[in-house]
Structure 1
Amino acid sequence: MFEYEIQQIRSAEMIRDADHFRMAREAVRSRRAARREAARSRRDDTEGQVNGHRHRRPRFARVA
């Protein structure tokens, strides 16, 4: 009987862990989708950004 209860507890823990993992993955996906949508809406703006995604000059000069 004791082993059965331990197995039930372990099973419940595994189900909770799986639900937690699933919710975390869903949150990551929704954040990615929100960032993607924000980037898409920024790209469609008529004004646009002043400093785009072009590479800036290095801050320090190269060593000889």
Structure 2
Amino acid sequence: MAWTWTYETADGATVGRSEAFDSRSDAESWVGEEFNALLEQGIDQLRLFDGDTEVYGPMSLHPA
């Protein structure tokens, strides 16, 4: 399966999707690298998918 992130606004509206990653660790590492760029694009939260199955989310990009 391919691992992807969906990008969402604070109200949960999907506004995009990441590239596909071969592993969960690759997907999670990518978020760490792109965190600030995602915030600058107006992304508020993410959801991680393994194929069509949601693994977790929403994960806020803002401090608690």
TM-score band by shorter chain is: under 0.3
TM-score with structure 2 setting the length:
0.27
Which structure carries more relative contact order (alpha carbon 8 Å, separation 6+)? 2
Considering fraction of residues, name the structure with more strand: 2
Q: Which has the larger radius of gyration?
A: 1
> Structure 1 or 2: larger helix share?
1
